[in-house]
Amino acid sequence: MSVLVYIDSNNGVAKNAKEAIFYGSKIAAEHGMETVVVTAGTANNDTLSALGQYGAKKVIAHNASNLDSQQLTKLVAETAKENNAAVVIFSQDLTGKAVAPRVAVRLEAGLVAGAIALPTNDFVVKVNAFSGKAFSNVKINTATKVISVLPNSLQPEAGEGTAEVVASALDLGAQKIVIKSKVEQTGEIALPEAELVVSAGRGLKGPENWGIVEDLAKALGAATACSRPVSDSDWRPHHEHVGQTGVAIRPNLYIAAGISGAIQHLAGVNGSKVIVVINTDPEAPFFKAADYGIVGDAFEVLPRLTEAVKAANL
């Protein structure tokens, strides 16, 4: 029996992939199983072998990029059968959201999407409910179980060890979904993986004022984000939009300036460990969810925070 973990390795191995492997290895250790990783991408064998630090015993590598969701479904489902996988783990990223349900159908497995904690011995899995305002415990009763892990839900701990790397010989067939173009972010901290995030809303009054947000983010080594009205107005790119209809994040620190805190925004950020809110309106709803609140003008507060961070050499 094994725990199979799917990761993408087109651009190396991202943090959320290591989290999924670590999550799977904890389940495997608890139930006396082996952790097997299946990956599609172009990462070299040394990079894949190093995944043994996070609990992987074997890595099955399919050396191909830009596989479509149907091909990935076949890759994971067939590899799960070949390795007698009792549990299949994904990260709850775009690929996980598209492929995990398909794999669950093929394996006739119960699926829990967006796990935020390790399952109990009898596979009760904790997830967010009601847009993050509550938690739900979901039990998987099927023989085979599929779980996708919400990024930043646990901190992967690197140990010692290397994984055996073998090539996948599966024939995945021709692509049925044609990818006409692909634009990847470069030189930025990916929001789902960011541990520190500085975000702003319409209170910044226009895109020309975003420098004070970027200055603080640079000083902290943080990612930048925004509310939906900001991205809808084309002040900031849409991949920076966090909220119910944008990216859901769980950083250690989330600083929000000039954002009122509508429920749709809170749904995407209330998993943050610490929330700091800066707003001129003391009645702004966001203050109710904040760990720390500053009633003040973002144009005065953000530069002072940046100066303080630089002075502290953080």
pLDDT: which is higher, 184 or 229: 229
- Residue 48 confidence (pLDDT) above 90: yes
CA distances from 265 to 192, 242, 244 (A): 15, 7, 6
| CB hemisphere CA count around 76 (13 angstroms) | 33
Reported as type and span, the H/E element at residue 158 is none
Per-residue pLDDT at 180: 78
Give ranges for CATH 3.40.50.1220 in the chain. 191-312
How confident is the model over 197-201, as a mean pLDDT? 97
Of 7-21, 88-102, 195-209, 210-224, the one with minimum mean pLDDT is 7-21
Per-residue pLDDT at 186: 59
Measured in degrees and rounded to the nearest 5, phi and psi for residue 39 equal -140, 150
- Residue 281 confidence (pLDDT) above 90: yes
Q: Residues of 199-235 as b/e, b for ≥16 C-beta within 10 angstroms?
A: bbbbbbeeeebbebbebbbebbebbbbbbbebbeeeb
Burial category of 185 from C-beta neighbours within 10 Å (exposed 0-12, middle 13-18, buried 19 and up): exposed
Per-residue pLDDT at 250: 87
Give ranges for CATH 3.40.50.620 in the chain. 2-167
- Residue 53 confidence (pLDDT) above 80: yes
Quick one: residue 163, left, alpha or beta (phi over 0 = left, psi -120 to 50 = alpha)? Answer: beta
Per-residue pLDDT at 36: 98
Query: What does pTM read for this prediction?
Result: 0.84
How confident is the model over 155-162, as a mean pLDDT? 90
Per-residue pLDDT at 4: 98
Share of the chain above pLDDT 90, in %: 76
Residues 6+ apart with CB under 8 A from 117: 125, 126, 153, 154
How confident is the model over 92-108, as a mean pLDDT? 95
CA 218 to chain centre: 21
Considering the domain delimited by 2-167, tell me its CATH architecture. 3-Layer(aba) Sandwich (3.40)
- Residue 100 confidence (pLDDT) above 90: yes
Of 58-67, 82-91, 296-305, the one with minimum mean pLDDT is 58-67
How crowded is residue 27: how many other Cβ atoms within 10 Å of its Cβ?
Answer: 22
Q: Mean pLDDT over all residues of the chain?
A: 92
175-188 pLDDT, tens digit per residue, is 887 777 766 665 57
How confident is the model over 128-152, as a mean pLDDT? 91
Measured in degrees and rounded to the nearest 5, phi and psi for residue 290 equal -80, 145
CA distances from 100 to 28, 63, 104, 124, 206 (A): 19, 20, 6, 18, 40
Which strand ranges, in their side-by-side order, compose the sheet holding 274-279?
A: 223-226, 196-200, 253-257, 274-279, 292-295
> What's the CATH number of domain 191-312, 2.60.40.1180, 3.40.50.1220, 3.40.50.1980, 3.40.50.300?
3.40.50.1220
How crowded is residue 242: how many other Cβ atoms within 10 Å of its Cβ?
Answer: 29
How confident is the model over 38-61, as a mean pLDDT? 95
